[in-house]
Amino acid sequence: MRRYHVTTFGCQMNAHDSERIKGMLEELGLGEAAAPEDADVVVFNTCTIREKPDTKLAAYLGDAGARKRAHPDTVIAVGGCYAEAQQERIFSLYPQVDVAFGPGTIAHLGEWLGAGGFGVARGTWGTGEERVFAATLPMHRERTFQAWVQISMGCNSVCSYCIVPAVRGREVSRRPGEVLAEIESLATAGVREVTLLGQNVNSYGRDLGTDFAQLLRAVDAVDGIERIRFTSPHPKDFRANVIEAMAECNAVCEHAHLPLQSGSTRVLKAMRRTYSRERYLALVDEMRAAIPDLALSTDLIVGFPGETEEDFCETLTAVEEVGFDSAFTFVYSPRAGTEAAARTDQVPDDVKRDRIERLVEVVQRVATERNATRVGNVEEVLVEGPSRTDPSFLRGRTRRNMAVNFTGDAPPGDLVNVRIERATSQTLGGVQLAVVRV
Ligand code: 5AD
Ligand code: SF4
């Protein structure tokens, strides 16, 4: 049997696309290999949001190229955002690559790979007639009780640092009937938690005469779905009706990932985020008033062009003021073709490094303080399986999206009550009480 391996970089959207890529390769009769070295078809589903994933990909492609020299039948395919952004250059940069394709054209993977019995012509750029929702394709799901559901593709925002609108195109919403039909069939198959995915979920449906609040309510009504998550919303589009829907729908989890990016209104303006520090803080107040015990996570960038020490300190104070439960912190990385990359006032690397270290310190301190307040609580945890670091513990997540390691006895997919006894900046620890529902 021929075997494939898929390596995934980047966001949950990409992880979800990889499940479809795997599903399609399995439909073509391939089995999954444990490592790229053991595979006949090696796929890289790439990201280009920052420079680091680009560099990592180069190393992986070097290894795959070496294997191809020893086994010339190996097919190397590169998909995703880096491939889309570099489609003019990818085959000259990496002559070992046979097929490359962008995030919208996964649907055609079978044609390129299958048509010639995998004897694809070197340098095939996988075009498709139009961008297709990967959701309509076969799927290889890693977990039986959790699923990602794509609700839109593309992004209409113009954040000046971000390459995504250029690679993923204009926003298109998936029809609510299709989204719901997929979620109903997932629920029938035993899925209890869905994560709705889009580059900006809160602008969902405007092109179809509906909106995200209506979608949340409809998903909440699906029998068997006990937890609904979504990522990512843009603060500018977080309207009152979505907050109401979050507060009123039992299945919608008490967590929002709300990318702030910077605490300085001046920098936010240059980033073209279209909200101020004050507007963001007011939104947080509004959400917390409506949704008791809401957890908030965020994305933060340091070293945006022109960011002064004073601007940066405003990011630090915003983290304290909001009290984020967790945060992804990034060093600004100039992406060719974006507005911010063309600015002449780039921040020196040593200043960026100093700022990220100071930011991480504050983020961790605030998160540790917030987590410490959970000790003594009993929280509902969706069991994911044995802990990665110590298999004598189980691992799962609370509704507020905190990872919990705990002693207990329950199969993956169960909802159990855990008494929280310990907390660090990123995890909670505890002991299982009784099974809530099976
Ligand atoms: N440099 C650094 N971080 C970036 N992000 C997006 N573009 C860049 C960039 N050029 C971050 C943002 C976004 C997250 C997914 O990645 O914080 O929310
Ligand atoms: Fe996801 Fe953006 Fe990376 Fe593409 S570039 S994989 S959309 S994070």
Q: What value does the mean pLDDT take over residues 310-330?
A: 98
Ligand whose nearest atom lies closest to the CA of 327: 1
Residue 115 has pLDDT above 70, yes or no: no
Q: 429 - beta bridge partners?
A: 405, 422
Q: Is 48 in the pocket of ligand 2 (CB under 6 A)?
A: yes
Q: Is 161 in the pocket of ligand 1 (CB under 6 A)?
A: yes
Residue 176 has pLDDT above 50, yes or no: yes
Closest to 24 (Cα-Cα) out of 144, 111, 154: 111
Query: Which one has a higher pLDDT value, 104 or 370?
Result: 370
Q: Report CA(162)–ligand 2 centroid distance (Å).
A: 10
Q: What is the pLDDT of residue 119?
A: 53
Give the Cα separation of 432 and 364 in Å (integer).
Answer: 26
Residue 94 has pLDDT above 80, yes or no: yes
Q: What is the pLDDT of residue 113?
A: 78
Query: Which one has a higher pLDDT value, 29 or 122?
Result: 29
Confidence of residue 305 (pLDDT cuts 50, 70, 90): very high
Q: Is 113 in the pocket of ligand 1 (CB under 6 A)?
A: no
Choose one of 164, 201, 330 to mutate for the ligand 2 pocket test, by most ligand atoms within 8 angstroms of C-beta.
Answer: 164
Q: 43 - beta bridge partners?
A: 6, 77
Q: Is 83 in the pocket of ligand 2 (CB under 6 A)?
A: no
- Tens digits of residue pLDDT in 377-413: 999 999 999 998 899 999 999 999 999 999 999 999 9
167: phi then psi, degrees, rounded to nearest 5: -95, -30
Show the 3-state SS of the chain.
Answer: CCEEEEEECCCHHHHHHHHHHHHHHHHCCCEECCCHHHCCEEEEEECCCCHHHHHHHHHHHHHHHHHHHHCCCCEEEEEEHHHHHCCCCHHHHCCCCCEEECHHHHHHHHHHHHCCCCCCCCCEEECCCCCCCHHHCCCCCCCCCEEEEECEECCCCCCCCCCHHHHHCCCEECCHHHHHHHHHHHHHCCCCEEEEECCCHHHCCHHHCCCHHHHHHHHHCCCCCCEEEEECCCHHHCCHHHHHHHHHCCCECCEEECCCECCCHHHHHHCCCCCCHHHHHHHHHHHHHHCCCCEEEEEEEECCCCCCHHHHHHHHHHHHHHCCCEEEEEECCCCCCCCHHHCCCCCCHHHHHHHHHHHHHHHHHHHHHHHHCCCCCEEEEEEEEECCCCCCCEEEEECCCCEEEEECCCCCCCEEEEEEEEECCCEEEEEEEEEEEC
Q: What value does the mean pLDDT take over residues 132-161?
A: 87
Q: What percent of the chain has pLDDT over 70?
A: 94
Q: What is the pLDDT of residue 223?
A: 97
Q: What percent of the chain has pLDDT over 90?
A: 82
Confidence of residue 43 (pLDDT cuts 50, 70, 90): very high
Give the Cα separation of 246 and 289 in Å (integer).
Answer: 12
Confidence of residue 116 (pLDDT cuts 50, 70, 90): very low
Ligand whose nearest atom lies closest to the CA of 54: 2
Q: Report CA(430)–ligand 2 centroid distance (Å).
A: 35
Residue 122 has pLDDT above 70, yes or no: no
- Tens digits of residue pLDDT in 234-260: 999 999 999 999 999 999 999 999 999
Q: Is 258 in the pocket of ligand 1 (CB under 6 A)?
A: no
Which of 317-331, 406-420, 421-435 is the least confident region?
421-435
Query: Buried (b) or exposed (e) across 114-134, using 16+ Cβ within 10 A?
Result: beeebebeeebebeeeebebb
Residue 435 has pLDDT above 70, yes or no: no
Q: Report CA(168)–ligand 1 centroid distance (Å).
A: 15
Ligand whose nearest atom lies closest to the CA of 297: 1
Q: Report CA(49)–ligand 2 centroid distance (Å).
A: 6
Q: Report CA(154)–ligand 2 centroid distance (Å).
A: 10
| Mean pLDDT, all residues of the chain | 93
What end-to-end distance do the CA atoms of the chain give, in Å?
Answer: 38
Query: Buried (b) or exposed (e) across 224-248, using 16+ Cβ within 10 A?
Result: ebbbbbbbbbbbbbbbeebbebbee
Q: What is the pLDDT of residue 389?
A: 87
Judge whether 381 and 415 are in contact, CB under 8 Å: yes
